[in-house]
Amino acid sequence: MMSRHAAFVLLLAFGAVFQLSCGIEVNVTKEDKLCLYANLMLNFSVSYEVADNKNQTAVFELPANATADGSACDNTTSMLKLDFEGHSWSMTFTTDGKNYQAAIVTFSYNLSDSKLFPNSVSNETKTVIVKPQMKDVGIDTCYSCHSKDTIEADSVNMTLWNVLIQAFVINGSKSENLTICEADTPMTTVAPTTAPRPTSTTPAPTLPTPTTGKYSYKPDENSTACLLANFGLRIGVKQGDKLEEMNFEPNGTQISGSCGLNSSELKLVSSSITIEFTFTNDTKKFRLHALNVTGKTSSGLMFTEANNNMSLWEATLGSSYMCNKEQNFTIASLVTIYTFNVQVQPFGVKKGLFSTAHECSLDDTSILIPIIVGAALAGLILIVVIAYVIGRRKTYVGYQTL
């Protein structure tokens, strides 16, 4: 145990030398005493709009001459704030006295900076806010992570590596004890951390199958429903390489929507999630064409993602779409929906009841596959037999002419 600890300290010494050559090192002081120490490397990848509705991606590094004047320490919160050329990146930490964690990362970038964002259509300053993964770091330890950790936000990816941070320095001197991030720890060995190890190695408990909600929309109280939808819904939100999942609770959900000839909508609002389904009618079939999910996970991460170019839940107009199997769909990059026991009919609902159901192919592929394979094999045998018969005939004819 002791020698292993030494090895990690050595590694840190090496890392520090390496980092000094090209990362950024920050000493934040309060009353002339060190209160926050940070040494890290940071890359940005920002997608922004240029002419013709196109997006371009700018990739740049945090410049070494960024300033940390906006950083501050308090008893229970501290902030590392790095400003460069009118842009600013900050990480806020909180502590309960025993451990500390990174609470939020904020990145504000000014699209009028034509050096970083050439040909940007917008000249606004945009701000993204995300919750990073650093947590359960022992109070008198430095958080150390050499591995790359990408924090994904709307249109922005921030990659941190060679990170060494002590967000709450005690008595003005940086601790030599480390809390090593999981990505740096080999799977088979247990790192000698002084803080409790993050619990994320144990897989999140699997959620029960979500309750199937029965939603119907009627344009006014005296008419029958014009849109019917039954399904159980789970939402998964990716945070770095972790996935946070939650079941949508149908009880207490507010339902609104619209029924049109070419487009129908269903909007569900629960206490933590708002989801909007847009269905379209393309004369013969209907399909789920757009989805917009906005919400907050139990850990407080706000998310929103939309996609308006989908083709899910497709069935002939006048029928309903049904799928009992679990299905999943990733809306853009971070938010995935899982659906269970689906039956929907967004157009042509009669007497408030579902019409005949068109079953999803998922439900019967297990039967279809052997049938297809069998048919293919039968076809192959037939071809061989025919080829053989033709071959025989040809030879026979050949002999005759000789």
Candidates 143, 321, 347, 354; binder of ligand NAG (CB under 6 A) is: 347
Residue 263: half-sphere exposure toward Cβ, Cα within 13 Å: 7
240 interacts with ligand NAG by CB under 6 A: no
157 touching ligand NAG, by CB under 6 A: yes
CB of 79 to ligand NAG, least distance (A): 15
Q: How far is the CB of 371 from ligand NAG (least distance, A)?
A: 20
* Residue list 102-141, contact with ligand NAG (CB under 6 A): 112, 123, 140
b/e code 366-398 from CB counts within 10 Å (16+ = b): eeeeeeeeeeeeeeeeeeeeeeeeeeeeeeeee
3-state secondary structure 92-150: EEEECCCEEEEEEEEEEEECCCCCCCCCCCCCCEEEEEECCCCCCEECCCEEEECCCEE
Question: If DSSP codes are grouped into helix, strand and coil, which group holds residue 327?
Answer: strand
Rule CB under 6 A: which of 20-79 touch ligand NAG? 25, 27, 45-47, 49, 53-55, 57, 63, 65, 75
Complex with ligand NAG: residue 182 or 276, whichever CB lies closer: 276
Q: Which x/- pattern over 369-398 shows residues binding ligand NAG (rule: CB under 6 A)?
A: ------------------------------
CA distance 319 to 289: 17
| Binds ligand NAG by CB under 6 A, chosen from 31, 69, 96, 221 | 221
Stretch that binds ligand NAG, among 10-18, 93-101, 215-223, 371-379 (CB under 6 A): 215-223
Closest approach, Cβ 232 to ligand NAG, in A, equals 13
Total chain residues near ligand NAG (CB under 6 A) = 43
Residue 333 lies near ligand NAG (rule: CB under 6 A): yes
Q: Find the length of the chain.
A: 402
250-309: contacts with ligand NAG (CB under 6 A): 251-252, 261-262, 274, 281, 283, 292, 294, 304, 306
Q: How far is CA 239 from CA 61, 152, 247, 351, in A?
A: 22, 7, 17, 44
DSSP assignment of 334-346 equals SEEEEEEEEEEE-
**177: its two tokens:** 């004890």
Dist. CA 281–CA 198, nearest whole Å: 49
Q: Contact positions toward ligand NAG, by CB under 6 A?
A: 25, 27, 45-47, 49, 53-55, 57, 63, 65, 75, 112, 123, 140, 152, 155-157, 175-177, 194, 220-222, 251-252, 261-262, 274, 281, 283, 292, 294, 304, 306, 317, 328, 333, 347-348
